[in-house]
Amino acid sequence: MAGDSIGQLFRFTNWGESHGKAIGGVLEGCPAGISLSEDDLQPALDRRRPGQSKIVTQRKEADAVEILSGLYEGKTTGTPISLMIRNQDQRSKDYSEMAQLYRPSHADFTYQQKYGIRDVAGGGRSSARVTAPTVAAGAIAEKILQQFCGVSIVAYVKSVAEIEYSNFDPLVTREQVEQSVVRCPELSIAEKMIQKIEATRKQGDSIGGVIECVIQSVPVGLGEPIFDKLEADLAKAMLSINASKGFEIGSGFAGTRLSGSEHNDPFINSNGTIATRSNYSGGIQGGISNGMPIVFRVAFKPTATIIQDQQTVNLEGEAVTFKAKGRHDPCVLPRAVPIVEAMAALTLCDHWLRYRGYQNLTSE
Amino acid sequence: MAGDSIGQLFRFTNWGESHGKAIGGVLEGCPAGISLSEDDLQPALDRRRPGQSKIVTQRKEADAVEILSGLYEGKTTGTPISLMIRNQDQRSKDYSEMAQLYRPSHADFTYQQKYGIRDVAGGGRSSARVTAPTVAAGAIAEKILQQFCGVSIVAYVKSVAEIEYSNFDPLVTREQVEQSVVRCPELSIAEKMIQKIEATRKQGDSIGGVIECVIQSVPVGLGEPIFDKLEADLAKAMLSINASKGFEIGSGFAGTRLSGSEHNDPFINSNGTIATRSNYSGGIQGGISNGMPIVFRVAFKPTATIIQDQQTVNLEGEAVTFKAKGRHDPCVLPRAVPIVEAMAALTLCDHWLRYRGYQNLTSE
Amino acid sequence: MAGDSIGQLFRFTNWGESHGKAIGGVLEGCPAGISLSEDDLQPALDRRRPGQSKIVTQRKEADAVEILSGLYEGKTTGTPISLMIRNQDQRSKDYSEMAQLYRPSHADFTYQQKYGIRDVAGGGRSSARVTAPTVAAGAIAEKILQQFCGVSIVAYVKSVAEIEYSNFDPLVTREQVEQSVVRCPELSIAEKMIQKIEATRKQGDSIGGVIECVIQSVPVGLGEPIFDKLEADLAKAMLSINASKGFEIGSGFAGTRLSGSEHNDPFINSNGTIATRSNYSGGIQGGISNGMPIVFRVAFKPTATIIQDQQTVNLEGEAVTFKAKGRHDPCVLPRAVPIVEAMAALTLCDHWLRYRGYQNLTSE
Amino acid sequence: MAGDSIGQLFRFTNWGESHGKAIGGVLEGCPAGISLSEDDLQPALDRRRPGQSKIVTQRKEADAVEILSGLYEGKTTGTPISLMIRNQDQRSKDYSEMAQLYRPSHADFTYQQKYGIRDVAGGGRSSARVTAPTVAAGAIAEKILQQFCGVSIVAYVKSVAEIEYSNFDPLVTREQVEQSVVRCPELSIAEKMIQKIEATRKQGDSIGGVIECVIQSVPVGLGEPIFDKLEADLAKAMLSINASKGFEIGSGFAGTRLSGSEHNDPFINSNGTIATRSNYSGGIQGGISNGMPIVFRVAFKPTATIIQDQQTVNLEGEAVTFKAKGRHDPCVLPRAVPIVEAMAALTLCDHWLRYRGYQNLTSE
């Protein structure tokens, strides 16, 4: 209700602010008996954390996660898993200037208006830093989906500004993605993206792009017919990521230019399994997964923080000039890849558990 | 949980199948004391119903809604409002062929796999017909938002296949939109769209397009910081509409090609009110409405039902040929306009009521 | 959220007012493939309806339920089941006096204060009449529990005023209960209760009592450890019934006078099944069903409507005298028995489906 | 859904096990701008913690709470408040015997059956220790209710075994309650209770009792008409407390022996405010608070842990004898008083925020 939780049976509640004592979250509804330790979560966190490569912010944060509950002798017990990441450097620098104005396209103005109070230190609750516990929870979801269903989730950077990786390989692997720091699976394109990001940083500017995500081996039957369609819950999950501005599944916006006779996915018998020849549907029909790969894309705007003079107003509504300081991401996409995967994993795992309760109910 | 409800404080639960006895829904959380009658709901239903113009399906359904509860002497009482639309022609034609195969890009296969049973009459629960009660509920939400906040919600067809209305006027009115049966506010473009739809129908084919929605006078403060961001809930609402494949807000996918210095929306003092000069943010920052117009777009695929031979498989997985019969929409967009408005109204009204509980809490 | 729904995966939403066009409800999350018709629901409704015997109100209401959705060829489809009961006699008598005052111990005052408007006809939303659709939904829940788990739910009148049936037979059957119109399984006690009720009616007064409920063959594992303990959800369900004032499970309030050495239930091996020798726990330990019979009791106050002069105030706060007219129940307990069973069935069925999603998850 | 959360708009999620690294919880939906620090929470925790007096367990646990998020410069920001209490002594003693058997009337058997795994250290998730974070969250709820509405919540021990405080003073204060370590407001009765508890401990046995709670200055209008009646949510909250077996409001079970003419609460004009002369309703009518004191009672069974030989079975179902070791509460009631208050505060604060969203909506 308060908007800090996602999921129904498998629910994650996120808490914390950028420069508070800690950030963290609570994962409810994790099945019992699963081997789990911090080592399962750290790789995803390391792919999200600052300072991991030359093209992301050079801030140093270890993002070491601690599991505080829900485990007994290395296995989950079915009770809530509490995750915590201590904020290492709580000494706030001087935020007195920022407290007096509204940074363009940040959450400063809306938080101030809604709450009458605003944690200016590092952006407080609106900082992308608070996605870290979500990534840790997503790693648990992914482990469950992999273990019980063999699901694989791979996201990658499809475009940075106008530089686009236009191929599509449904069998793309995370290893291929991780070959470049920008997380585009084709190295020649990746190199151009990296150069673009570096040039942008030198200008004190920022750029956006598109992330594509492919999910293989999804069980048939996940999603609900009307409002909790699987694509609807994925759309919500993706639009809840900081800086995201759009979501499309399967053919998406480009598919609006096709005719039905081009766009329909013919069913075929593929070695005894019913599949579709094309996949414009993106793996979901009528709100329910059909067993084909789920494919979607998420648009990310250029980050709002730029190291250039900008016009804005102060709390009194007077025009002022603002120029950000410090180390920032000129492009969020490389670090957003594991966030997209985590949100997808949380969404699918919840729907899988919701569906399980109804499966195999034989009747009169 | 079961996916037939949307909203938290202001919640709508939809029920019914295309060819069942009736379709309907229950709206919980409507404030008390609002004048309401069926006359408030019928105009929106009439804009959604079949047979309203030459470019939509020629099926005849009156879609007359009945309010069964929640009113006393013409005013809402704060108790659930039950809405019902009787299905007029329940005599099902012969669905025996359809029951034996999976129509391409329909929900036949996924419903059969998930439930082990499928209501083939008119598509059952997967029919767009079941959006009618949602449109009625949306009309109530819109009335509330208009009455208490002066909110106006206007959606229109922005493109049909490659024919696009590329202007943008934030002050577009519903009257302008209603001037053409295709619901594009520019008549010269509308005419081309109509011709395209008619040509497509003659070929037994279908086409898609994009709907844009502009919401004026949104109160500042709606939406929650993390998972229930206002754009996330709008995305979910839009992706829950039949045939939708994408959602973008503000600059959307195109904005991924701008730099931050181009994309940031400078705050200005507009006659004593803090506003932004540009609106790439689409009226939402940090998940919370900022008072600027909310602007988003929804992609709709070409409808799956086409009057052409298609390859598919039967329940046994054997290849068969299928050709649909009957009267269908070659393009869903004109009738989807009021559905987009209804889903937006339901989403905003819920967030407005959630926020109201916290407003004006003065403290020590 | 709005309080008209109960359950999570298996959720029932109730709507309607005593003298509106109809009353009804929507049941979401019913498994697919279950044979169902109105005939399955009517017996429970007939046990709840007015006019069924000489000791209940002599109003005539058929309470014929209509299933409007969720069925295909006589089987459930997994989609929402819409239930409707038309109110037969909508002609409201003269409520002008009642509209001007607050009847003692009714909902008149609180509704007026909360909503600023009040449906005075027959009590509107606060009438026990609106439990009828809930009883119909409960009959579906009971059918599911019976069919898949063999669960049996039997409630009966344990006391009317000071007349108490003090025996306890965990194997009591519904047939035994139905042998008397007061629904007490021991006929000699039942006769005294009936006499007491009749004497009370002659005085224009009312009386209360206690209903006991025994649930056999409950699967082990239903309920959650902390806030959604099975007894907590049962308590909520029972306290949501009109006129109920208390709930106790197992040893209940009397158990507070035992010592731990008397009260603890020793585990035993009963032909290969682990059971407990005594059942002070009432079938639930740590919030989770343990396979023993669930036993609880619900206190019902004397009905607020009495045919005697009562002091109260009018809307202006002035002292007035009020005397109810019409036909009323002098004792709600006989008709509350099927309501208790329905609420128990809805609660258990929801927990059973919640648990099913997690059962038999084998791990590394 | 997973049962670790309570509340809708104002929601508390509890996590942790008795002997894990820490216990804690997350409170969502706290209004912004409220002064708050650990000092506001510690008094309630100190009233709940072990070792506070001679009649409770002599274990030493400081229960020092840390607020990890949701504060900025000493005020709440409207974002989740994360609460953590480190478990001081994580060295688990030898639980190997306990791991092999099911202690009578504990959660051992049901947890093992439901989850297939069980945290035996100190009872894991089923330990009453995990109520500590709930008490801290309740202190926040109570502060909000006190600050904005002047609500006061006072619970006390009404009976210990057969020793009963039979008076009732709606103006009882927490100071009066705290005058005795057993938390009964009448000192002569309190002394008898203390003697009874001490005698019970010497026998290695345990006893139960009843806690009564009085809530003053409740705003009119809290609670919803049908399933979320205020008394229903209070009943759920109370039955979710460890060892509770019953709940009754107002006249409760005793009221079932009154006639309607005795039981009805006449409305009166009390200096311009509409009140009731008697309060058998317990402050709630039709599910909604009426402004009179809310009065309810909760039954607590004798604690399951006793220092006596008990018969039970081991994991293989074989009969074994078990005798608990260590320091335990012979009577939970003195320490349960602040838990009852906390659960009441959480429930009321949630309903108050839910209602606020609808208050003062003026209409056409």
Contact (CB<8Å) A299/B255: yes
Of C33, C79, C363, the CB nearest to A225: C79
Beta strand residue intervals within B251-333, DSSP E = 267-270, 273-276, 284-285, 288-289, 294-300, 310-313, 319-322
Residue pLDDT, tens place only, A241-266: 999 999 999 999 999 999 999 999 99
Q: How many CB atoms lie within 10 A of CB A167?
A: 10
Q: Which backbone phi and psi does A71 adopt, to 5 degrees?
A: -120, 145
Residue type, D106: H
Q: Which two tokens mark D318?
A: 């074989």
Q: Measure the CA angle with vertex C44, ends C42 and C46; round to 5°.
A: 65
B335 is in an annotated binding site: no
Q: At what angle do helices C230-239 and C333-356 cross, to 10 degrees?
A: 150
Binned at pLDDT 50, 70 and 90, residue C281 comes out as very high
Q: Which of A141-145, A312-316, B89-93, B221-225 has the lowest mean pLDDT?
A: B89-93
CA dihedral for D312, D314, D320, D322, sign (positive or negative): negative
> Do the domain assignments include residue B362?
no
Q: Where are the beta strands (DSSP E) in chain A?
A: 5-6, 11-16, 22-28, 65-67, 71-72, 75-76, 81-86, 152-160, 163-164, 209-216, 244-249, 267-270, 273-276, 284-285, 288-289, 294-300, 310-313, 319-322
Which pLDDT score is estimated for A56?
A: 86
Average pLDDT, integer, range D153-180: 97
DSSP tag of D194: H
Mean pLDDT value across residues B122-142: 95
Residue of D361, D362, D364 to mutate for B, most B C-beta atoms under 10 A: D361
3-state secondary structure of C19: coil
CATH of the domain at B312: 3.60.150.10
Range name among A50-54, A350-354, B171-175 with the lowest pLDDT average: A50-54
- What pLDDT, in 10s, does the model give residues C303-355? 999 999 999 999 999 999 999 887 788 999 999 999 999 999 999 999 999 99
Among C164, C245, C292, pick the best mutation site for testing chain D contact (most D Cβ within 10 A): C245
Instruction: Output the six-digit token pair for C273.
Output: 């099944």
Per the annotation, does C91 bind a ligand? Answer: no
Residue B68 lies inside a defined structural domain of this protein: yes
Alpha-carbon distance C191 to C199, whole Å?
Answer: 12
Distance CA A255, CA D283 (A): 60
pLDDT of residue D90: 59
CB contact set of D135 (below 8 Å; sequence gap of 6+): D44, D45, D47, D48, D338, D339, D342
Residue A240 in domain: yes
| pLDDT for the residue numbered A327 | 78
Sheet holding D81-86, edge to edge: D5-6, D11-16, D22-28, D81-86, D65-67
Mapping DSSP to helix (H, G, I), strand (E, B) and coil, where does residue C76 land?
A: strand
Domain residues for the domain of A287 are 5-356
Whether the CB-CB separation of D233 and D347 falls below 8 Å is answered with yes
CB D9 to CB B357 under 8 A?
A: yes
Of A1, A357, A363, the CB nearest to C356: A357
Determine phi and psi for B45, rounding to 5 degrees: -65, -35
ipTM value:
0.97
Rg for chain D, CA atoms, rounded: 21
Contact state of A147 with C364 under an 8 Å Cβ cutoff? yes
Q: Largest Cα–Cα distance in chain D?
A: 73
d(CA D238, CA B46): 50
Question: What is the band of C364 on the pLDDT scale with cuts at 50, 70, 90?
Answer: very low
**Is C242 annotated as contributing to ligand binding?**
yes
Question: Which of D9, D37, D66, D68 is best to mutate for the A interface (most A CBs within 10 A)?
Answer: D68
Q: Which amino acid is at A23?
A: I
Residues of D in contact with A29 (CB under 8 A): 1-2
D172 and D154 in contact (C-beta within 8 Å)? yes
Would the CB atoms of C9 and A33 count as touching at under 8 Å?
A: no
Q: How far is CA B245 from CA A51, B110, B336, in A?
A: 36, 17, 13
Q: Is pLDDT of A284 > 60?
A: yes
CB distance A147–C356 less than 8 Å? no
Confidence of residue A363 (pLDDT cuts 50, 70, 90): very low
Which stretches of chain B sit within 8 Å of chain D by CB?
1, 8-9, 31-35, 75, 78-79, 147-148, 225, 353-358, 361-364
B339 by Cβ neighbours in 10 Å (0-12 / 13-18 / 19+) ranks as buried
Quote the minimal CA–CA distance from A152 to chain C in Å: 18
What is the pLDDT, as a whole number, of residue B70? 97
Torsion over CA of A180, A185, A189 and A193, rounded to 10 degrees? -50
| Numbered residues of the known binding site of D for FMN | 125-127, 242-243, 286, 301-305, 327
- Coil, strand or helix at B331: coil
User: Rounded to whole angstroms, how far apart are CA atoms D123 and A79?
Assistant: 13
- 3-state SS of B28-53 is ECCCCCCECCHHHHHHHHHHHCCCCC
pLDDT score of B56: 86
Distance from C-alpha of A301 to C-alpha of B260, rounded to nearest angstrom:
8
The DSSP line for D89-119 is: -------TTGGGB--TTSSHHHHHHHHS---
Report the Cα–Cα distance between both ends of chain A, in Å, rounded: 39
Residues with Cβ within 8 Å of A210's Cβ and at least 6 positions away in sequence, in order, are: A157, A158, A159, A164, A297, A298, A299, A300, A333, B253, B256
pLDDT at A362: 59
pLDDT in tens, C19-31: 999 999 999 999 9
**Residue B270, number of CB atoms within 10 A of its CB:** 12
The order of strands in the sheet holding C152-160 is: C163-164, C152-160, C209-216, C294-300, C244-249, D244-249, D294-300, D209-216, D152-160, D163-164
Q: How far B215 CA lies from chain C's nearest CA (Å)?
A: 26
Place of tokens 């017909």: B129
pLDDT bin (cut points 50, 70, 90) of residue C258 is: very high
What tokens appear for C226 in the block?
């902390």
Which three-class secondary structure string do you get for B47-104?
HHCCCCCCCCCCCCCCCCEEECCCEECCEECCCCEEEEEECCCCCCCCCCCHHHECCC
* A288-302, A334-348, B306-320, C92-106, range with the lowest pLDDT: C92-106
Angle between helices B230-239 and A230-239 (to 10 degrees): 160
Interface test with B, best of A263, A268, A347, A360 (most B CBs within 10 A): A263
Q: Determine the pLDDT at residue C342.
A: 98
Looking at the structure of chain D, the number of domains it has is 1
Integer-rounded Cα Rg, in Å, for chain C is 21
Q: Which of chain C's residues have a Cβ under 8 Å away from the Cβ of D300?
A: 256
Residues of C in contact with A349 (CB under 8 A): none
Q: Are residues C32 and A358, on separate chains, in Cβ contact within 8 Å?
A: yes
Q: Which residues of A touch D33 (CB under 8 A)?
A: 115-117
The pLDDT of A51-73, averaged and rounded, is 89
Question: How far is Cα C238 from Cα D246, in angstroms, rounded to an integer?
Answer: 12
Q: Give the whole-angstrom CA distance, residue D269 versus residue D95.
A: 62
Handedness of CA D280, D285, D290, D295 (dihedral sign): positive
Confidence of residue B93 (pLDDT cuts 50, 70, 90): confident
Q: Which positions ≥6 away from C91 have C-beta within 8 Å?
A: none
* Contacting subunits of D (3+ beta carbon pairs below 8 A): A, B, C
Q: Confidence class of residue B89 from pLDDT cuts 50, 70 and 90?
A: low
Among candidate residues C306, C302, C338, the one with its CA nearest the CA of residue C325: C306
Contact B68, C24 (CB under 8 A): yes
